[in-house]
Structure 1
């Protein structure tokens, strides 16, 4: 128990010290160039506060979801070698059914349409 307690105390103390030093040391001089939305030397043509497309956000989230699905399915051939194929295939089938139902739901509700008609 004592090693865990010491580790926790050291982590809390180190985090607190770094937070306090980070608040005290930096100078807070606001430069007009650094506070502008573009730092590359030219004036912005349009407003930098354009509304963000929710459709793009939804497509990006779906891409990340199915990208993570591939990352979770890659170790499957190795797991069938280590464990019996029967034990490792049931969670895979359940995972694929849940993802397929989610994809079907998004497809039916029009979440995968790239452009509005």
Structure 2
């Protein structure tokens, strides 16, 4: 009995991977060709419409400051911090000093980020005039 008579234990998984990859590539290429042949060919009329070029520029009476999005992002960041602290607080005694040190490091890193954002003026609200 030679080594060629025994199938490799992962041959079936490898064959399945190759067949799936070929099927994926073939489906992608076929979808690309079908969409190209079924698409409208008269697109020149659509290129100059407002929808294709974007809406007409008008004066915005009530602009929203980009500062709002930065504050919202910081809120989400620190809200997620609290979500990570709940499981730690539940298993505090089980985790011991190692868990305490990990959470302390986590809080210190977030505090450094908060101080950095504060010093850069990310928390200062500037009104739009």
Scaled to the shorter chain, the TM-score interval is: 0.5 to 0.7
Larger Rg: 2
Aligned to 2:104: 93
In the superposition, the TM-score normalised over structure 1's length comes to 0.60
Change (3 A) 1:86 1:109: same
Distance 1:71 1:11 in 2: 39
How far apart are residue 23 of structure 1 and its match? 1.5
RMSD: 3.6
1:15 matched to 2:24? The reply is yes
Ranked by relative contact order (alpha carbons within 8 Å, sequence separation 6 or more), the top structure is: 2
1:71 matched to 2:88? The reply is no
How far apart are residue 87 of structure 1 and its match? 2.1
Gaps spanning 5+ residues in structure 2: where? 1-8
Aligned to 1:41: none
Gaps spanning 5+ residues in structure 1: where? 39-43
Aligned residue pairs: how many?
107
How far apart are residue 106 of structure 1 and its match? 0.8
Distance 1:7 1:56 in 2: 50
